[in-house]
Structures are given as structure tokens and as C-alpha cells.
Amino acid sequence: MTNKRRTINVNVPRECHLWTKPGITAGDILTALAQVRLYEDDSHLIRPLLKCRLCGQLYFHAFYEIVDWEQGNDAQYSSWIPIDDPQSAGDLNMLAPLELLRFGGLRIDFPTTADQPTPPYWRMSQPKD
């Protein structure tokens, strides 16, 4: 029996206002996206499939928190990975948090050394035009 690995279809969401909006905020992201499916909902790991309310672009969202048991300053990382189809979200959900870093998307980082989270930024495997 052959074990074929499926292709995860990540895209550059050129038609989505989240891609084109200058100075995007966390609030912009939260109000723009509606939940389609919830894969994981834990206090330290949240993974839903989301859809842009304006254009229909799909995003796999991953929130990951690393607990700092000594200082209580937990690191938090959020990624919104633009995808072509719900199957890609299911495949992304099977990956570990560090494996998701190889996929581009919209990010907000709040490392333990920071006083506040980064503003949202795009990190893509290809340059943003």
C-alpha cells in the first residue's frame, strides 16, 4: 500500500483586503474572518478554518502558546495561512506548530521578551508585490 502525501495548497491572497490593506491591525483580522470549522480549541492551541467575510478567501488559523511556568510570561504566536481549499486546512491541522512555520501567512508574535505583540505582518515564501 502506498502512502501518498497530499499537496497543501497555500496561496498569495491578492484579492483579499487583508493582503492589500496598509497598516492592518489585529482588530481588522478578527472582524474580517468568520469561523467555518474548529479543529482544536485548547487553552494553549487553537486551530480553526476561517473565511474572509468580504471575498471568501480561506485561512487556516493557528494560535500557539508556550507556557512559562516560572515567570508567567507566556509566549503567544498566531498565524493565518491563506489556503485554496478546506482539505488543505485539514492537512495543516495534522502538523506540529513548528512545522507550520514553513508556510507563509499573516502573523502576530508575542515572545516572552516583548512587552506587547508585534503588529500583524505578512511572511510569505515569495515576496509581496
Instruction: Quote the mean pLDDT of the chain.
Output: 87
Note the pLDDT of residue 5: 56
- The span from the CA of 76 to the CA of 44, in Å, is 9
- The span from the CA of 113 to the CA of 62, in Å, is 21
Q: Mean pLDDT over residues 17-41, rounded?
A: 94
* Residue 64, number of CB atoms within 10 A of its CB: 17
Does the pLDDT of residue 126 top 80, yes or no?
no
